[in-house]
């Protein structure tokens, strides 16, 4: 078979190359993310594997169909950037990698949390300004004494619950579909928002979840709450978050997935700049940790993303079924 990989990142090359050698399938690697303007580079290939957070549009799927390519196998979990109606209309079948390493993302969420509860951003800022004494006055909180609210207790949320429980924290969970046979202490969303010292988000960026953390939710939260989002940027109303950071109601925020990421990345790709006033303001706040959507980024995760995505694609091509076909 002839496969083409778009959005190929440097750390994926070895796994893609090894797979190609091991299986004898031809694999072309393209660094650019996939869109309707460059999909013709896949002409003559049987299927596409890709990873990106910029959109997969209806126009792209129509062009894939025109090229006779029926399968797109994404190397990640989230489906929020895919025009699923467009894919269906063009007859394109899609698979994802639902679990490449839930622990990677959960551990990163906990890392952001630990950074924030011990005020390391403020400490670092003082030290950078040669103010050793000033750096000593940021008293922290024990996670063990905190109530952690985990919103979304799927694969990643459950991994986060396990780690927070390991610290001895009281953990509350909210999920419309609670995990079966789990020891998670489920409450309704309102209770979680009111009682948590730390709020950790692990829900998909479905349109229905857009701004689930909005101005009204911030009003209900405890003073000096910490909020961590490694799920999707649209879950938090960023302007409301900024208001609450400025007022001091929110003590700290860890944002791996930023609300305007998609547009900002398109600007970066097309114009070479990532000019975003909300991002710039948060970058200046020592009690905010921003990261460029890298919660997933571990060796285990990258290897699994490549291997599982290619197994899905070969399933489509050789048997007509992929283990992780997206059917929604």
> Which residues are the active-site residues?
232, 261, 293
> Are the C-beta atoms of residues 246 and 120 closer than 8 Å to each other?
no
**Cβ closest to ligand NAD, residue 46 vs residue 80:** 80
List the one residue from 296, 310, 312, 324 that touches ligand COI (CB under 6 A). Answer: 296
Of residues 99 through 128, those in contact with ligand NAD by CB under 6 A are: 102, 105
Say which entry of ligand COI, ligand NAD, none residue 53 contacts (CB below 5 to 8 A, set by partner kind). ligand COI
User: Which range of residues in 10-18, 141-149, 171-179, 213-221 is near ligand NAD by CB under 6 A?
Assistant: 171-179
Taking alpha carbons only, the member of 76, 145, 65, 129 closest to residue 104 is: 76
Say which entry of ligand NAD, ligand COI, none residue 234 contacts (CB below 5 to 8 A, set by partner kind). none
- Locate 18 and state its tokens: 């090894």
Taking alpha carbons only, the member of 54, 46, 53 closest to residue 25 is: 46
**Cβ closest to ligand COI, residue 296 vs residue 316:** 296
Residues 6+ apart with CB under 8 A from 288: 121, 245, 252, 253, 254, 255, 282
- Locate 316 and state its tokens: 């489509």
The span from the CA of 140 to the CA of 149, in Å, is 19
> Are the C-beta atoms of residues 325 and 15 closer than 8 Å to each other?
no
Binding residue count for ligand COI, defined by CB under 6 A: 7
Contact pattern from residue 180 through residue 219 relative to ligand NAD, giving x for each residue in contact according to CB under 6 A and a dash for the rest:
----------------------xxxx---x--x-------
- Least Å from the CB of residue 148 to ligand NAD: 15
Of residues 60 through 89, those in contact with ligand COI by CB under 6 A are: 76-78
The span from the CA of 35 to the CA of 27, in Å, is 19
Q: Is 61 exposed, middle or buried (0-12, 13-18, 19+ CB in 10 A)?
A: buried
Q: Which residues bind ligand NAD (CB under 6 A)?
A: 77-78, 102, 105, 151-157, 174-177, 202-205, 209, 212, 230-232, 256-257, 293, 295-296
């Amino acid at each position: 078979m002839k496969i083409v990989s778009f959005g190929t990142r440097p750390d994926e090359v070895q796994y893609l190359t090894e797979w190609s050698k091991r299986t004898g399938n031809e694999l072309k690697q393209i660094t650019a993310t996939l869109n309707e303007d460059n999909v013709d580079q896949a002409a003559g290939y049987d299927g596409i594997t890709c990873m990106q957070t910029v959109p997969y549009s209806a126009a792209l799927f129509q062009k894939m169909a025109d090229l006779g390519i029926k399968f797109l196998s994404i190397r990640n979990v989230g489906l929020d950037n895919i025009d699923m109606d467009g894919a269906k209309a063009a007859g394109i079948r899609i698979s994802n990698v639902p679990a490449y390493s839930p622990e990677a993302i959960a551990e990163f969420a906990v890392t952001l949390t630990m950074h924030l509860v011990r005020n390391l951003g403020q400490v670092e800022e003082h030290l950078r300004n040669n103010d050793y004494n000033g750096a000593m006055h940021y008293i922290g909180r024990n996670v063990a004494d905190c109530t952690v609210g985990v919103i979304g207790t799927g694969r990643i949320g459950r991994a986060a619950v396990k780690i927070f429980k390991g610290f001895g924290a009281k953990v509350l969970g909210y999920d419309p579909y609670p995990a079966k046979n789990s020891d998670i202490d489920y409450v309704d969303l309102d209770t979680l928002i009111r009682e948590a010292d730390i709020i950790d988000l692990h829900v998909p960026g479905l349109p229905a979840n857009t701004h689930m953390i909005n101005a009204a939710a911030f009003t209900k939260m405890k003073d000096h709450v910490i909020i961590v989002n490694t799920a999707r940027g649209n879950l938090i109303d960023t302007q409301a978050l900024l208001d609450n950071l400025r007022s001091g109601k929110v003590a700290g925020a860890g944002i791996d997935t930023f609300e305007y990421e998609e547009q900002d990345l398109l600007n970066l790709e097309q114009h070479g700049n990532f000019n975003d006033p909300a991002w710039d303001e948060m970058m200046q706040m020592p009690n905010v940790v921003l990261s460029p959507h890298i919660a997933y980024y571990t060796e285990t995760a990258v290897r699994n993303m490549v291997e599982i995505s290619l197994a899905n694609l070969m399933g489509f091509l050789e048997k007509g079924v992929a283990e992780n076909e997206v059917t929604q």
